[in-house]
């Protein structure tokens, strides 16, 4: 596994750490449980980090020195690709030939390194985009910066170099084909998973007691990185509209915002708190630092509903995890969220980001106990579709497809139209 720009050991919810961190670590753990040794290469961001850390039995995280430990933004990382790639290639040299059987890269920066390792080691390259510049730029959040042309070109190169692309959803697979010219035969759809042992059947009453939330409170939760892409501002504006229309909700409404600033949100880390104050929501909004998986499961359990107003999500792991906890989700009808959330079954999908539409959807769930119970039951059932064990099996099938693709490409004469 190559995860250059963010380590699976980092705490999701701040900086560049998010659902991809959970994805890489959980998938690797399930691979290891099947007897497959996994090395995860990531860039070292602290001088105190050990070169090698066992994240789980059979899963080794290798910290690669490439550039200064701290202070590098994601836009500055391309300058470190050569150094990072050199150190990755050196690791393989320490073993007998054929040590690695497959390279699975995550995000386009890692894909650039993966393409080099693929050719040097003569092993298949499987790549997961996680997010795509062309998709993000088409649905850019207000105040967010467009992805640069260098990333667009880099993604196109990785798509062409990969033997198989793993898409989170059918929609992402279609986007890879239509926007990047990917060969449909080399695209495998694998839904990410949820650790059901962590998120299923938490104690709701105990969670509320632990967090100091009244048993009868109405809790609207946001969990994720605080950045324009995730649109926590839309949620706060919707809450303000909802309270203007129905002031009676204020007395027992709680709106926890669980996460830290990330990406362009780092430029104005206090902006969301300032917005909350401006909207007169200081009495209902609670800002909570990022938490680990077990604590996050408790927060989901404590919530009446979880709001996911993102402008785009390749999958929407927060929505899947919340549903596993039996909590309805109100989500934007974008990207992978339309796969994760079944509208009117496990939650509600909202078209667009108009705070008035969001206020209406939130209030529907909050004031209708029968609807909440129906959606909660549907959420639990929906979550059963997304398990890491299933994701691991399907990813292994994608690796087998990549092996066949590579063998076929090597057998095809270049003059006859072989890709390489």
Residues 229 and 274 in one domain: yes
Q: For residues 6 and 229, give the distance between their C-alpha atoms in angstroms, rounded to a whole number.
A: 18
Q: Is residue 59 within 8 Å of 40, Cβ to Cβ?
A: yes
- How many other β-carbons are positioned within 10 Å of the β-carbon of residue 227? 23
* 85: CATH: 3.40.50.2000
Residues 258 and 116 in one domain: no
Is residue 12 assigned to a domain? no
Host domain of residue 320: 196-383
Is residue 212 assigned to a domain? yes
Residues 174 and 288 in one domain: no
| pLDDT tens-digit map of 219-239 | 999 999 898 889 999 999 999
Positive/negative CA dihedral, 328, 333, 334, 338: positive
User: Whole-angstrom distance between the N-terminal and C-terminal Cα of the chain?
Assistant: 23
- CA-closest candidate to residue 230, choices 254, 258, 199, 211: 258
- pLDDT given at position 413: 63
- pLDDT given at position 262: 60
Q: Which parts are annotated binding residues for Mg(2+)?
A: 300, 303, 327
Split at pLDDT 50, 70, 90, the class of 19 is confident
Residues 236 and 359 in one domain: yes
| pLDDT tens-digit map of 69-103 | 887 777 888 999 999 999 999 998 888 888 999 99
Split at pLDDT 50, 70, 90, the class of 160 is very high
- pLDDT given at position 45: 87
**Order of strands, sheet of 329-332, starting from the edge strand that comes earlier in the sequence:** 285-288, 253-258, 218-223, 305-308, 329-332, 347-350
Higher local confidence (pLDDT), 49 or 213: 213
Is residue 97 assigned to a domain? yes
- How many other β-carbons are positioned within 10 Å of the β-carbon of residue 197? 11
3-state helix, strand, coil in the chain (%, to 5): 50, 15, 35
Q: Is 37 helix (H, G, I), strand (E, B) or coil?
A: coil
Residues 99 and 214 in one domain: no
Q: Is 318 helix (H, G, I), strand (E, B) or coil?
A: helix
Quote the tokens at residue 391: 């994701």
Q: Is residue 5 within 8 Å of 75, Cβ to Cβ?
A: no
Is residue 6 assigned to a domain? no
| pLDDT tens-digit map of 297-348 | 999 999 999 999 999 998 899 999 999 999 999 999 999 999 999 999 999 9
Is residue 322 assigned to a domain? yes
Residues 238 and 120 in one domain: no
Asked if pLDDT for residue 145 goes beyond 80, the answer is yes
Residues 367 and 221 in one domain: yes
Look over the chain and give the mean of its residue pLDDT values, rounded to a whole number. 92
Q: Is residue 222 within 8 Å of 250, Cβ to Cβ?
A: no
Q: For residues 301 and 216, give the distance between their C-alpha atoms in angstroms, rounded to a whole number.
A: 14
- pLDDT given at position 415: 47
Tokens 């880099």 found at: 154
Q: Is residue 118 within 8 Å of 103, Cβ to Cβ?
A: yes
- pLDDT given at position 265: 44
- pLDDT given at position 9: 86
Average pLDDT over residues 355-374: 98
| pLDDT tens-digit map of 183-206 | 999 999 999 999 999 998 779 999
- pLDDT given at position 140: 80
Q: Which parts are annotated binding residues?
A: 5, 11-12, 16-21, 74, 107, 131, 151, 225, 230, 291, 300, 303, 313, 321, 327
Residues 378 and 407 in one domain: no
| pLDDT tens-digit map of 52-69 | 999 999 999 999 999 888
Is residue 356 assigned to a domain? yes
Is residue 62 assigned to a domain? yes
Asked if pLDDT for residue 294 goes beyond 80, the answer is yes
Q: For residues 150 and 153, give the distance between their C-alpha atoms in angstroms, rounded to a whole number.
A: 5
- CA-closest candidate to residue 104, choices 190, 184, 181, 35: 190
- Into how many domains does the chain fold? 2
Quote the DSSP letter at residue 140: P
Residues 159 and 307 in one domain: no
Q: Which parts are annotated binding residues for 1D-myo-inositol 3-phosphate?
A: 5, 16-21, 74, 107, 131, 151
- CA-closest candidate to residue 161, choices 346, 420, 379, 372: 420
- pLDDT given at position 70: 81
Quote the DSSP letter at residue 125: E
Higher local confidence (pLDDT), 15 or 239: 239
| pLDDT tens-digit map of 234-293 | 999 999 999 999 999 999 999 999 998 765 444 445 889 999 999 999 999 999 998 988
| pLDDT tens-digit map of 108-135 | 999 999 999 999 999 999 999 999 999 9
Q: Which parts are annotated binding residues for UDP-N-acetyl-alpha-D-glucosamine?
A: 11-12, 19, 225, 230, 291, 313, 321
Split at pLDDT 50, 70, 90, the class of 392 is very high
Tokens 């040590």 found at: 99
Residues 245 and 328 in one domain: yes
Residues 111 and 217 in one domain: no
Is residue 268 assigned to a domain? yes
- pLDDT given at position 128: 98
Strands (E), 72-184: 103-106, 125-128, 164-167
What values do phi and psi take at 175, rounded to 5?
-65, -35
Q: Is 305 helix (H, G, I), strand (E, B) or coil?
A: strand
Q: Is 297 helix (H, G, I), strand (E, B) or coil?
A: helix
- pLDDT given at position 17: 62
Residues 67 and 109 in one domain: yes
């Amino acid at each position: 596994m190559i995860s250059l720009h963010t380590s699976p050991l980092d705490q999701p919810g701040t900086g560049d750490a998010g659902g991809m961190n959970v994805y890489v670590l959980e998938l690797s753990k399930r691979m290891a449980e099947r007897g497959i040794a996994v090395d995860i290469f990531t860039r070292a961001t602290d001088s105190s980090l050990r070169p090698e850390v066992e994240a789980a039995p059979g899963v080794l995280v290798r910290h690669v020195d490439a550039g200064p430990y701290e202070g590098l933004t994601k836009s500055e990382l391309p300058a470190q690709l050569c150094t990072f790639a050199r150190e990755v290639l050196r690791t393989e040299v320490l073993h007998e030939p054929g040590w690695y059987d497959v390279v699975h890269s995550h995000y386009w920066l890692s894909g650039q390194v993966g393409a080099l390792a693929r050719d040097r080691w003569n092993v298949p390259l499987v790549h997961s985009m996680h997010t795509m510049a062309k998709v993000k730029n088409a649905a850019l959040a207000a105040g967010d910066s467009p992805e640069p042309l260098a990333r667009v070109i880099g993604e196109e190169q990785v798509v062409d170099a990969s033997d198989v692309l793993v898409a989170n959803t059918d929609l992402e697979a279609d986007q890879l084909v239509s926007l990047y010219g990917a060969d449909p035969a080399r695209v495998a759809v694998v839904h990410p998973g949820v650790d059901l042992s962590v998120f299923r059947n938490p104690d709701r009453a105990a969670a509320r007691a632990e967090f100091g939330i009244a048993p009868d409170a109405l809790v609207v939760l946001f969990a994720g990185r605080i950045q324009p892409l995730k649109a926590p501002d839309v949620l706060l504006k919707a809450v303000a509209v909802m309270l203007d229309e129905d002031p009676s909700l204020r007395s027992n409404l709680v709106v926890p915002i669980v996460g830290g600033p990330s990406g362009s949100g780092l430029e104005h880390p206090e902006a969301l708190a300032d917005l909350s104050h401006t909207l007169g929501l200081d009495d209902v909004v609670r800002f909570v630092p990022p938490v680990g998986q077990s604590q996050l499961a408790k927060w989901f359990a404590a919530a009446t509903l979880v709001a996911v107003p993102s402008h785009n999500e390749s999958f929407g792991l927060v929505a899947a995890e919340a549903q596993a906890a039996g909590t309805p989700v109100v989500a934007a009808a974008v990207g992978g969220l339309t796969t994760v959330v079944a509208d009117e079954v496990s939650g509600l999908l909202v078209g667009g980001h108009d705070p008035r539409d969001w206020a209406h959807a939130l209030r529907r769930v909050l004031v209708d106990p029968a609807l909440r119970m129906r959606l909660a039951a549907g959420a639990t059932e929906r979550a059963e579709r997304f398990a890491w064990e299933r994701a691991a099996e399907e990813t292994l099938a994608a690796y087998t497809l990549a092996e066949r693709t590579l063998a076929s490409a090597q057998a095809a004469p270049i003059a006859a139209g072989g890709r390489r």
